[in-house]
């Protein structure tokens, strides 16, 4: 039976680069994202590089309850079986929790937590039955620490790390692997909502990685059976740093750094 990789957030950034990795590896693809023009472009670009790969896409908002049903139907239409699931869609909401827009945070909780968990619930039993499958959740370095001024974002990523590690322990010996990719700052179109307005924020700079390098490392690590995956030396150092220092110091530093980023985003919007 044809094997398909289902990838959310695949219209741009890390998700698009992960779709390229899966195509190179010979998987058929179902790309899901709310950016339909980006999906069409992504499909055309991947088809050009990998003409033999079957690709379909679904433009849908992953914060809506109905979207999981639409994905299930679309997969049934393809007649393929989901042997790889990559949950990558995401965005940030910036601001003190007592000032942010709740509806946008609720959307984020659905996109980062509810929908990935439901998709894993749907497709994991089939993978176990087949004795083979791969799941990659895209969290963030942010998931290891509390994140003042982006409190809900950091907390949703912490959920993804905890959940992935727990399920990984359950899956030992089944032939199915789950990993959680924890990038640091990556040069993509990653957006944050600041005071109700959405702005792209991930800028290029000496410390920011490319989506392609993050995706390649994440994909290879998934295939090697690693569980918690931190791409790049700088991010590994930052991760070690937050484990060495007292958490009160780390939280104060995160707050200061978020406030600095916030000021620059507000200048741009």
Ligand X SMILES: NC(=O)c1ccc[n+]([C@@H]2O[C@H](COP(=O)([O-])OP(=O)(O)OC[C@H]3O[C@@H](n4cnc5c(N)ncnc54)[C@H](OP(=O)(O)O)[C@@H]3O)[C@@H](O)[C@H]2O)c1
Binding site for ligand X (CB under 6 A): 9, 11-15, 33-35, 38, 61-63, 88-91, 107, 111, 138, 140, 183, 185-186, 188-191, 202, 211
Asked whether 2 and 47 are in contact (CB, 8 A), the reply is no
Interacting residues of 253 by C-beta distance below 8 A, sequence separation 6+:
none
The residues with which 133 forms a beta bridge, in sequence order, are 176
Strands 92-94 and 228-229: unpaired
Q: How far is the CB of 193 from ligand X (least distance, A)?
A: 10
Closest to ligand X by CB, 13 vs 133, is 13
For 138, the enclosing helix (H) or strand (E) is strand 133-138
Dist CA 239 CA 107 (whole Å): 28
The SS3 of residue 11 is: coil
Closest to ligand X by CB, 130 vs 159, is 159
Closest to ligand X by CB, 191 vs 258, is 191
Q: How far is the CB of 216 from ligand X (least distance, A)?
A: 14
Asked whether 230 and 139 are in contact (CB, 8 A), the reply is no
Strands 55-59 and 228-229: unpaired
Q: How far is the CB of 150 from ligand X (least distance, A)?
A: 10
Q: How far is the CB of 244 from ligand X (least distance, A)?
A: 21
Dist CA 261 CA 199 (whole Å): 12
Q: How far is the CB of 37 from ligand X (least distance, A)?
A: 9
Interacting residues of 46 by C-beta distance below 8 A, sequence separation 6+:
19, 20, 23, 29, 53, 55
| Whole-number Cα distances in Å, 229 to 174, 180, 214, 222 | 20, 6, 10, 8
Closest to ligand X by CB, 133 vs 184, is 184
Closest to ligand X by CB, 36 vs 175, is 36
The SS3 of residue 232 is: coil
Closest to ligand X by CB, 21 vs 132, is 21
Other residues' Cβ atoms within 10 Å of the Cβ of residue 51: 7
Q: How far is the CB of 130 from ligand X (least distance, A)?
A: 27
Q: How far is the CB of 172 from ligand X (least distance, A)?
A: 26
Closest to ligand X by CB, 107 vs 133, is 107
């Amino acid at each position: 039976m044809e094997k398909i990789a289902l990838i959310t957030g695949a219209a741009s950034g890390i998700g698009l680069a992960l779709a390229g990795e899966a195509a190179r590896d010979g998987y058929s693809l179902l790309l899901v994202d709310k950016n339909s023009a980006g999906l069409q472009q992504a499909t055309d670009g991947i088809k050009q590089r990998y003409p033999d790969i079957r690709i379909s896409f679904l433009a849908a908002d992953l914060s809506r309850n109905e979207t999981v049903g639409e994905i299930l139907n679309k997969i049934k239409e393809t007649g393929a079986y989901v042997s790889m699931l990559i949950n990558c869609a995401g965005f940030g909401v910036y601001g003190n929790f007592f000032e942010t827009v709740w509806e946008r945070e609720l959307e984020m909780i659905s996109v980062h937590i509810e929908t990935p968990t439901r998709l894993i619930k749907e497709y994991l039993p089939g993978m176990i039955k087949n004795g083979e499958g791969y799941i990659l959740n895209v969290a963030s370095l942010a998931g290891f620490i509390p994140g003042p001024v982006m409190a809900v974002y950091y907390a949703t990523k912490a959920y993804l790390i905890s959940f992935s590690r727990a399920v990984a322990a359950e899956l030992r010996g089944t032939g199915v692997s789950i990993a959680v990719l924890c990038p640091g700052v990556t040069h993509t179109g990653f957006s944050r909502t600041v005071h109700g307005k959405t702005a792209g924020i991930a800028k290029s700079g000496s410390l920011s990685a490319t989506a392609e390098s993050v995706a390649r490392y994440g994909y290879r690590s998934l295939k090697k059976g690693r569980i918690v995956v931190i791409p790049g030396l700088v991010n590994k150092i930052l991760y070690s740093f937050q484990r060495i220092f007292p958490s009160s110091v780390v939280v104060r530093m995160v707050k200061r750094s978020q406030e600095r980023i916030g000021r620059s985003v507000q200048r741009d919007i």
